[in-house]
Amino acid sequence: MATVIKGTAVAKKVRQSLRDEILEIQKEKPDFKPGLTVVQVGDRPDSNVYIGAKVKACEEIGINGVHMKLPPETTQQELIDAIEGLNVDPNVHGIILQVPLDCTTGIDETLCTNVLSPSKDVDGLTDVNAGRLARGDLKRCFTPCTPTGCMVLIDEAGVDVKGKNVCVVGRSKIVGAPMHDLLLWAHGTVTTCHSRTPDLGYHIRQADVVVVAAGKKELVKGEWIKPGAVVIDCGINPEPDATKKSGVKLWGDVEYQAAKQVAGAITPVPGGVGPMTVALLMRNTVVSAKRMHGITGVRSYSTASYTRPIAAQLGGGARGLSTSTNFARAGLSLLQRLKK
């Protein structure tokens, strides 16, 4: 029977540590106040829920969380102008562009995401941050929050991925692809599977660690899991369920009950990976604020081994990230010219 990795408990530990650190810094620097702004275009109900959770977490930790809500008729240039204003605002240390955009004007989400200054891209989704992660330049980038949270949970299970066979199921830009990169630079032997992979079960059976982010209910069968493997399930697949107070039951991408009988450790859905995403977003915002205030040193948010690479990743200071702003603007200018 697998040990259940409770992401809710780990995330709570991260958030409390961040709150303590902010209060500690404020004793010497009273004006230290990390700031996170979430930019939304339109009024999608699901986006409102996600943003509400982020702003609430900010309030609990001591971060100034702002929800910038723009109307559906916002033009692409108006959105760019809003983001560029946040890029130069010294009170804003983290910026998120909430996607998908709910607009009537055909805004290019990728182009606008790349308007974000890489030094404030706390979701790690700009091409600059993604490229640095792909090259293993972890000291000079922010890494996406969900895969980074998965790394912390793997370590909470007491597993060092160095030399281990690891299987990532899914290749999205937000989870699968950066998950592969993080595991690779942690010295895992990584196989990435996707919708075109034949005999998915074969690859999973070889893996000491399995991370699934495919967006398909119970895609990974319990019988495929190698005995003793660590299973991290990023899936969130809602289905109507009248027995639930919310009217919805969430399913993971892994056949949980069957896998639990075989695995060494496994994350539940809900209560596994999800809470870590918000916690690591808060962490990235605090780290960005520390960089901009010239504060060195990074507190560890997990007792496990991955905190050492995290500390190394975040210990590079402001220099590496801040110099990327002009590069990002030049790239944006090129993209706009190519689209003409």
Q: Which positions are annotated as active-site residues?
A: 54
DSSP string over 259-307: HHTT-SEE--SSSSSHHHHHHHHHHHHHHHHHHHTT------S-SSTTH
Q: Is 33 left (phi over 0), alpha (psi -120 to 50) or beta?
A: beta
- In degrees, rounded to 5, the angle at the alpha carbon of residue 231 between the alpha carbons of residues 225 and 233 is 120
Q: What is the DSSP letter of 165?
A: E
- 116 forms beta bridges with none
Provide CB contacts within 8 A for 298, sequence distance 6+.
287, 290, 310, 311, 314, 315
Coil, strand or helix at 235: coil
Beta strand 209-212 pairing with 248-251: unpaired
CA torsion angle for 148, 152, 158, 160 (degrees, to 10)? 30
